[in-house]
Amino acid sequence: MKGQRVQQLASSADREGTNMNTILFFGLLSLAVTHLADKKNENSGTKFLAYLKSDYQPCVGTLIHQQWVVTAAHCYLPFLQVKIGSPNENIKGWLQDQEINYEFLFRHPNFTADSPEHDIMLIKLAKSNNQHVLVDLPTSINDLDGSICVISGWSQNWKYPFTDADIQINQMARWLSPVQCKGASPRNITARSMNNMFCAGMYPHQQNVCQEVSASAAICKGQLHGILSWTDGCVLKGDIGYYTKVYKYRNWILDIIEKN
């Protein structure tokens, strides 16, 4: 499977090192990386995002192939519409909202509504889409603890709650260890679930309120490493999010694509 590799938006942040000791430093660095990512997005950047609309809630999808989008299994919703491009006509360099029909939905067979595990789904588009950037699947998960990722997704304007989310945001987040993940949430997080998931964020004890689209993409070292499953806050503001570890499902993804 070939696609144009997404630029490694977080590489400059990685070189800053791991000794960030104050919230102020986190915040300033986050703003700097977000600004850098936005500048790159004018030409390629996060044009790999799809907007998945339904009667219940929208979701973020990520283009990994000219005809395939990956998202969260909890986005298996009625009357799903797949839109490629930006719903906001004022975003420079983006192709406008293109609704594309889909042929099949493949939700992971082990996903259940009462567990965050295996929260991943594939969508086969009815036709190939050759006008957008693709993001690569991860080839390894070694040495990712402490790495800087970029969380990409859509947010909604509070002034217009009944319109589609049209604010595209890139937020820096740090890949945290399983111990840090458990300590960052009041929920009962099992070791088994963390085997297939990871958490990332900049502010472990912060919980913002916002209107963001579910299933944001976590791009780490230029590859799609995570799909947002759940959060107690707002990942597009640096809060901790819990992500499906895409590498664990790489073989399942490739098998589905090959057979369909």
What residues are labeled active site? 74, 119, 214
Q: What's the Cα-to-Cα distance from 100 to each of 58, 82, 128, 246, rounded to whole Å?
A: 15, 6, 10, 24
Rounded Cα–Cα distance for residues 197 and 182 (Å): 12
